[in-house]
Structure formats: C-alpha cells, structure tokens
A and B are shown apart, each in its own frame.
Chain A
Amino acid sequence: MKNAMGIELTTSDRTLVECYQSLVRVLRESSELAPFERRNALKAVAALWQVVNGLDLDPGNLYDIGA
C-alpha cells in the first residue's frame, strides 16, 4: 500500500489504516449498532483519521457518518 506521496507504508502503518477503514465501513453500513458501539467507534475513527491523514492517505471528511 502506497500513500499519496508514493511512499510504501510499513506493516504497522497498514494495520492502522485497515483498522480505520474497517471502522468507517461498519459505521457506514451497519444500522444495528447500539449507541455505545456507534459513538465509541466514531471517537475511534476521529482519532484514527489523524493517523491516516498524517500518513498522507487523504482521508477526506467524515461528516456523513457523524464524525
């Protein structure tokens, strides 16, 4: 996996990015999350967005899922 600068991410970087992507996907697709699940997942996404952004993957904005 390369970032927008063309740099290959490390294994650890990739794991964090996949974690972020999984959380975004579940928040977008699942309507069955309990409040404690959705709101805590949003907090985690907001934090992981900083990682993905700092790794130059241009994550865009997340207002559509409430983050």
Chain B
Amino acid sequence: MKESPYWNPRHETMPRDQIEALQVRKLKNLVAWTQARVPWQAARLKAAGVTPDSINSLSDLRRLPMMTRDEWMQAQLEKPPYGPLLAAPEEVAIRYHLTSGTTGRIPLQVLDSMKDWEWIAEMWCYGFWGFGVRPADIVFFAFSYGTFVGFWGAHYACEKIGALVLPGGNMTTEARVKQIMSMKATVVCSTPTYALRMAQEAKAMGVDLAAGPVKRLILSGEPAGSIPATKRLIEAEWGAKAADTAGMTEVGTIMIFECARQPGGTHIIEDHYIEEVVDPVTGDPVGYGELGERLITSFGRGFIPVIRYRTRDMVVRVPANTCSCGRTFDIYEGGIRGRVDDMKLVRGTNVYPRAVESIVREYKEIDEFRIHLYTADGRQDEIEVLVEIPNVDGAQADRLLTSLARSLSEAHEGLRFGVKKVENGSLPRFELKAKRLQDDRIVIGTAGERRVTA
C-alpha cells in the first residue's frame, strides 16, 4: 500500500463544505461540554444567548463571546492557580505547563489529562508527517524541556511516528552540534533564531553543517520561520529544508504547519480548530488576503475549553488551493506575521520587528542584531539597528552599514535608521523566543507601547 503524505488523509483532503459541517458539529459538542462543566464560561455563553441547539452554521460562531488573555489572567488571579476555567478535576491531570511570559503580566497556567496530552502530540504529527518526517528519521530537539510547553508535544509526536528521538535539553550549543553530527540526526527542531545560532557555532567549530546529515528543520516559537530571508539563510546554512509551525500554550500545541510543498505559508489544522481572522479593533471578520488578528476555537483539550480566544497574532488567510499538496485546509500566507502589539510608532511611521528582520537577514554577513528605540535630547524618538558582522571591517563594513540603513529607510517611508556595528558576541543569543527589540524611549504619560518614566 502506498504511504499517505497526510496524517489523516480523509480529513486533510475533505471538501470545504464537509470541513465546515464537521466544525459546526464539533462546535455544538464543545459548547454543550463547556456549559455543562465550566460555570464561568456557561454564564458568558448564557449572557450571549448561546445554546448548542442554536448553532446551525459557522456564521453562528459570531454570536459567541470572544475571550481575551486579560480575562484569562484575571480569572486566574481571582481563583488561583487556574481560575474557574477547568472542566475536569485537577486530580485527572498528568501535565502542568505555563506560557513563556512574552506577553502580559502573569503566565497562564494549564493542565492536561492523559487523553489531552496524547492529542497535543497528535497535532504535531500533522505537521511532522506533512513535512515528510518518517519512522526512519532521527530527530534532535534543541529545547530546554521545562514548564514552557514548547516542543514537548513534538517530542511525543516523533515517538508516536516511530522516529528515533534525541532529547537535546540542558546542553551547550557546541554539545548540541556535536551530537547532531555524531548521531547523524536527519531532523532538527528549534526556534529560527537558535537554528542560526547553532549554524554560527558549527562554523566556529569548523563543522560543515550543509554537508551533514540533517535534511529537515522544524521551526517554531517565532514568526521568523516564515520570513523568507531568514528561512533562506537557515536552509543555506544547514543545507536542509526548513518548515514553519506555530502553536500556543493556551491550546497546548500547534494549530498550523507548513507542508512538504512549502507554499510560503502554513496550513491550518481545520478538523481540530476553527480559526477566524478579524479586524483587531472592531472584531469584524476580514476576508481572504487581508491582514487581521486570528481567533482560535479548539476542539482538542477538553480540560480547559478555548472558544474564540483572541490570540493577538496577525495573519493573512488564503484559500487551500494556494498550495498544490492536495490539502483542503486553508493557509496563513507568511505564517504568523507578528503580534498586534508588536508595532512601534517611530516619528509617525509604523515599524514592525518582523519587517526589520526580513531586511536585516538579506545581509548574510550579519550574525546577530538588535533593534533599539531611544529618546534623543529628551524629546525625539530614534531607531537604530545594532549588528554584529564578524570578519567584515573597514570600508567593506561601512558599505554594508550604509546599504542596510538605506534599505530599512526605503521600506519605512524614509524613516531614518541608525545602523551601528557592535563588537562580535556582545548581543544576546536566544534559545527560545528571541527578544531583539529594546525600547528605551522616555515619554511621560503615554500609555501602551511606551515605557512611562518619571
């Protein structure tokens, strides 16, 4: 029998009308479960006049209340540690995890049962199998295995697929590179930033990664996995194909993955989630091809039902047939484009860290960078990009800095960018989510993105 390129062939190639029928049926079940088991959520649904029987099509979804991270955090604060969100007794849980804390005041804490945990791995299987990982593969995880859920589910997905798993926690970058080479790993899982970090380390060690055994990289944790320039650089350094995935602790696993055809975007796992894209200000739906914020409804983890959760992730949804793989799951073109709250306003111009990275990564000589915002003379916003360029000095370095500053300015309505070369190794390196933007602006009384100082 010919091996399927799909993890669940029937679901992944289902006609759109059947996918929607499946989603409506699962939504009714989810609402019924939530109403019966989570009084806090039941009250919200009741206030919105929603019952399972009143859901007959996906357009009924809009009658369900959205849930924000702030509401989740507040609920946790009022009834610690999990808030009134659990649909099952804590004693049934076998796993505890929390968010990485990149957004918001306190981390969100979640629990999973045995069945939920298995489902979490199941979602990763869609991605790994879809990108071509098979039982014969040897998969190295450059991951710290802590309470951040990260690649935990991916680890178990690879065990489920039957691949040999190399759990690379608590290792130096040098030790990881050595193990990848000595164990002949064929797949490496890491953040995009750390994939580049390992490539740097390999160069310093005299190791030619591109001539090595790695054929595939599975990236997650940062939008950079779908930034073309970053991805090209990673693929060139490793001599391997790189696929983007994205997940979130709030659902415990990934909800999107890039298939082997690499269509420039990530398929939504639509038999396990309903993903909506809305205007982040009005909450109104936006159409195919338009930038908006994604909302997620998850049919997986029953322990903490997630209905119309505002993710703050910005995406552009396009139809499934944008890809030639045969899946009928729609696609987020360019993966996660950034966060609603990522945008910085500098002298009237919008600056997105992702857009800056996509330009910086066009310069292969740059090893690491940082975006720095500060206030000049106590009154004017300035932006500078600090770069490490090993092995490039003098006039050649000056030309690169000038060229980068011009490219950044041209992409930002003429906004002046300072670009400075800094000492090699002086900028921080990241294993998990990279934080390359430092906002030191001093503005009295401005709420929101700016730091308020006395």
A46 sits at the interface (CB 8 A): yes
Q: How far is the CB of B42 from chain A (nearest CB, A)?
A: 16
A45 contacts which chain B residues (CB < 8 A)? Answer: 115
By a beta-carbon cutoff of 8 Å, the part of chain B in contact with chain A is 8, 10-11, 18, 21-22, 25-26, 29, 33, 87-89, 92, 113-115, 117-119, 122, 271, 302-303
Q: Which residues of A contact B25 (CB under 8 A)?
A: 4, 58
Q: Judge if A26 is at the interface, Cβ distance under 8 Å.
A: no
Identity of the chain A residue whose Cβ is nearest the Cβ of B88 in the assembled complex: A63
A47 to chain B, nearest CB (A): 6
A54 to chain B: closest residue by CB: B8
Interface size on A, residues (CB 8 A): 20
A19 within 8 Å of B by Cβ? no
> Is A34 close to B, CB under 8 A?
no
Q: Which of B18, B87, B92 contacts A66 (CB 8 A)?
A: B92
**Contact for B118 among A46, A58, A63, CB less than 8 A:** A46
The residue in chain A whose Cβ has the minimal distance to the Cβ of B32 is A60
Which residues of A are found within 8 Å of B26, using beta-carbon distances? Answer: 58
The residue among A43, A45, A54, A63 with the most chain B CB atoms within 10 A of its own CB is A63
A-B contact count (CB 8 A): 52
Note all chain A residues with C-beta closer than 8 A to B119: 49-50, 53
- Which A residues are CB-close (under 8 A) to B29? 58, 60
Distance in angstroms between the alpha carbons of A47 and B25 in the assembled complex: 22
Are B115 and A62 touching (Cβ within 8 A)? Answer: yes
A56 at the binding interface (Cβ < 8 Å): yes
Interface of B is mostly: helix
B22 and A46: CB pair below 8 A?
Answer: no
Q: Which residues of A contact B (CB under 8 A)?
A: 4-5, 7, 42-43, 45-47, 49-50, 53-54, 56, 58, 60-63, 66-67
List A contacts of B89 (CB < 8 A): 63
Which of A7, A42, A62 has most B Cβ within 10 Å? A62
Q: Say yes or no: B114 contacts A42, CB within 8 Å.
A: yes
- Chain A nearest CB: distance from B327 CB in Å? 15
**Assembled-state Cα–Cα distance A30/B115 (Å):** 20
A67 contacts B114, C-beta separation under 8 Å: yes
- Taking CB as reference atom, which chain A residue is nearest B302? A61
Contact residue among B8, B21, B114, B302 (Cβ-Cβ distance under 8 Å from A5): B21
Taking A50-B119, A61-B88, A63-B302 as contacts, is the C-beta distance between A43 and B22 under 8 angstroms? no
CA distance A60 to B113 in the complex (A): 13
Q: Is the CB of B8 within 8 A of A67?
A: no
State in angstroms the CA–CA spacing of A49 and B300 once bound together.
11
**Distance, CA A45 to CA B115, complexed state (A):** 8
Beyond known contacts A54-B8, A66-B114: 12 more, CB 8 A cutoff: A5-B18, A7-B10, A46-B113, A49-B119, A50-B118, A54-B271, A58-B26, A58-B29, A61-B33, A63-B113, A67-B113, A67-B115
Shortest distance between the CB of B283 and any CB in chain A (Å)? 30
Residues of A within 8 A of B87 (CB): 61, 63
A46 and B302: CB pair below 8 A? no
Q: How far is the CB of A13 from chain B (nearest CB, A)?
A: 10
**A5–B89 CA distance with the chains assembled, in angstroms:** 32
Q: Would B122 and A43 count as touching, CB distance under 8 A?
A: no
Q: Among B26, B88, B114, B302, which residue has the most Cβ atoms of chain A within 10 A?
A: B114
Assembled-state Cα–Cα distance A61/B18 (Å): 23
Q: Which residues of B contact A7 (CB under 8 A)?
A: 10
Residues of B within 8 A of A46 (CB): 113-115, 117-118
Contacts of A62 on B, CB cut-off 8 Å? 113, 115
Contact of B22 among A5, A42, A61, A67 (CB under 8 A): A5
What is the CB-to-nearest-CB distance from B50 to chain A, in angstroms, rounded to a whole number?
20
24 contacts between A and B (CB under 8 A): A5-B18, A5-B21, A5-B22, A7-B10, A43-B114, A46-B117, A47-B118, A49-B115, A50-B122, A53-B119, A54-B8, A54-B11, A56-B22, A60-B29, A61-B87, A61-B115, A61-B302, A62-B113, A63-B88, A63-B89, A66-B92, A66-B114, A67-B92, A67-B115
Q: CB-CB < 8 A to A56: which residues of B?
A: 22
Closest Cβ of chain A to B451, distance in Å, is 44
Cα(A43)–Cα(B21), bound, Å: 30
Expressed in whole angstroms, the Cα–Cα distance for A35 and B50 within the complex equals 43
Residues of B within 8 A of A66 (CB): 92, 113-114
Docked Cα-Cα span, A66 to B25, in Å, equals 25
Residues of A within 8 Å of B18, CB to CB, are 5
Residues in A neighbouring B303, C-beta threshold 8 A: 63
> By the criterion CB–CB under 8 Å, are A49 and B118 in contact?
yes
Q: Which residue of B lies closest to A47 (CB)?
A: B118
CA distance A67 to B302 in the complex (A): 11
User: A41 CA to B88 CA in the complex, in Å?
Assistant: 20
